[in-house]
Amino acid sequence: MVRPSLVKNVILALLADGKPRSYRDIIRGGGLREVSVRDGLYRYWRQSLILRTKKPIYRSERVFKGRGGFSRSTRPYHLYVLRPEGRDKVFLNGYEFVAFDRKYMDARGGGKKKDSKAQKIFDFLKENREKAWFSKKIAETLKDEGVRVCDVMSNVRRFEKKGMVYVRGYESEDRQTPFREGYLITWMDRDSDKPREQAIEEAIQRTNRALEDRSSSSPIVERIHRTRDIIIEHSKLRRLVSFPYLQNKLGCTEYEAENAIKRTLQLYPDLKYAMLFNAYRYYFHASLAEEDLKAAIEMKKNYIRIAKGRANRIGHNWEAAAEWFIDMFTTGAHFLTQDHRNKGMDPRRITLHLIRGVGGRRNAAEVDRVWEVTPGVFAPPITYVLSCKWGLVNREHMDDFLEVLRWSKEFGVDTPDGRQIKQGVYGVFAGGAFNPRENVQLKDGRAISLASYAARMNMQLLKATDFNSKLRERGCPSIVTVQKICKIVKDEGEVREVLDAIWDNSWRSKEILEKVLEKNTQIYKFEKMLEEKE
């Protein structure tokens, strides 16, 4: 048995340097038994000889379990310091140290016991027994009490096993899954005078009321109802609905959307569809007047001609071609990517946020590519922003691009001289050709070319002839041009594939283009059909 006086002398001696120490630090430094140190620290804290941290400190540690390997646990502990004369509270190393008071005692040490998260969730459901609550709503309501979403269901499942609560979710053939707002939970009244069947029925009725106008008993039923509502809504607005729009609204996979739409048309014969160009299906309600239906169909046809036509395809191919040459001949170029709601949109096409409308665009504008180049270890990165236009480029196209950069949140900045493009950001404009007849008039009356104007505005111009010269240097014949590649390939991905193949096998470049031309014959026929007037 270690004498109390010895324990006191050892503990006070270790704390004499003013450095905070934990229970384990004192055991290691003093060579005392754990029970002696634990009892001594508590005794001297009560005697106001030492101060202890007001709140416990939590530390994650790995514990070796022999053949079981390592396990990780979170351990709470306190730090101790000598009490300065005449002071009951000090701040040291970011911690508050206090003298003994029962309110500072931990629950296991005789202090006031705080309700656990499980008890808080249990009390909340019991006090609100007349309603059903989604698990996310419970977590949101008890957020200030430290309750998280993961805490709710882990405890609710224990309550469910004891028959205290009723839990409801989507019921499939072999399992239960949560609603979008989480599982629906309500209290089960277990009064001895009430039959169990009645308590279950009342719980179901409370969940039914909570689910009214919100969810259905299964995901497929909910999608069917949502699909019908969307089609009727657009028909009232005299518009048709496309499959991609329905899929985006339903928030599901392509297969799930196809299945839901197919079942919707089977269950509701008043829902119809129209096939445009034998390729695109649009949906409408039978209540849509015939004249309005014809007008809506004609509008969709015009949209398809623009969005799916030859000019749109070639324009996107030109963007990919410019990107390929930039990537090939720019050392250290890192292209930025962005996720889009439209999954068919190239992730390298970037949407900028506008703080002021530009050219009819109010809140956002797209640029075709953005890449960064880091010149050296100590040099800041340089950002290049690309805009592409297939065909003849005029000054208005370049000015519009510069305005987008100035008024974008990402690349513009306010200066004493007005809105300017940030330092280290440069515009690059890639066009099929720049109008040689257009000049820019300066304030002094002189006229300069578009190329000189672009240089004054710190903009770089890229032309199709610049790219073709690289192909000539590689050994490709004059018949192989970037213009021809953009016209015959089907999409941006194929542009990259064809250019890679031509670059690696320049002596076969003509043969490669002939095979691509033959393979994409159906695309050209479809585009020709779109261009034909009906």
DSSP letter string over 22-61?
Answer: EHHHHHHHH---HHHHHHHHHHHHHTTSEEEESS-EEEEE
pLDDT reported for residue 404: 92
| Options 3.30.930, 2.20.28, 3.40.50, 3.40.1350; CATH of 310-526 | 3.40.1350
pLDDT reported for residue 73: 72
Average pLDDT over residues 407-435: 89
Average pLDDT over residues 492-519: 91
For 4-109, CATH number? 1.10.10.10
pLDDT reported for residue 179: 78
pLDDT reported for residue 407: 92
Domains 219-307 and 310-526 share a fold: no
pLDDT reported for residue 190: 66
Per-residue b or e along 491-515, where b marks 16 or more CB atoms closer than 10 Å to that residue's CB: bbebbbebbebbbeebeebeebbee
- The answer to whether residue 213 scores a pLDDT higher than 60 is no
- The answer to whether residue 500 scores a pLDDT higher than 80 is yes
C-alpha–C-alpha distance, residues 91 and 461, integer Å: 63
- 424 versus 440: the higher-pLDDT residue is 424
Count the residues in the chain: 534
C-alpha–C-alpha distance, residues 46 and 110, integer Å: 13
Average pLDDT over residues 8-19: 87
pLDDT reported for residue 114: 54
Give the CATH fold of the 117-211 domain. Arc Repressor Mutant, subunit A (1.10.10)
pLDDT reported for residue 455: 83
The whole-chain average pLDDT of the chain stands at 84
Q: Which helix (H) or strand (E) element contains residue 392?
A: strand 382-393
Structure token digits, residue 248? 């985006």
pLDDT reported for residue 76: 84
Average pLDDT over residues 329-348: 82
Three-state SS at 374? coil
Q: How confident is the model at residue 534 (pLDDT cuts 50, 70, 90)?
A: very low
Average pLDDT over residues 93-115: 72
- 174 versus 181: the higher-pLDDT residue is 181
pLDDT tens across 44-88, in order?
888 888 999 988 888 877 766 666 666 777 778 899 999 988 888
Average pLDDT over residues 94-102: 88
Give the CATH architecture of domain 219-307.
Answer: Orthogonal Bundle (1.10)
517 to 8, 394, 484, 494, 522: CA distances (angstroms): 93, 31, 10, 12, 10
pLDDT tens across 367-387, in order?
989 999 988 778 888 999 999
pLDDT reported for residue 60: 77
Cβ-based neighbour number of residue 182 at 10 Å:
18
Average pLDDT over residues 335-349: 81
pLDDT reported for residue 531: 67
- The answer to whether residue 202 scores a pLDDT higher than 60 is yes
Average pLDDT over residues 467-473: 92
- The answer to whether residue 499 scores a pLDDT higher than 90 is yes
Cβ-based neighbour number of residue 187 at 10 Å:
24
Domain ranges of the chain: 4-109, 117-211, 219-307, 310-526
pLDDT reported for residue 501: 93
DSSP string, 171-185: E-SS-EE-BTTB-EE
pLDDT reported for residue 385: 93
Average pLDDT over residues 331-348: 82
- 365 versus 219: the higher-pLDDT residue is 365
Share of the chain above pLDDT 70, in %: 91
pLDDT tens across 398-417, in order?
889 999 999 999 999 999 88
Average pLDDT over residues 290-311: 80
Cβ-based neighbour number of residue 266 at 10 Å:
10
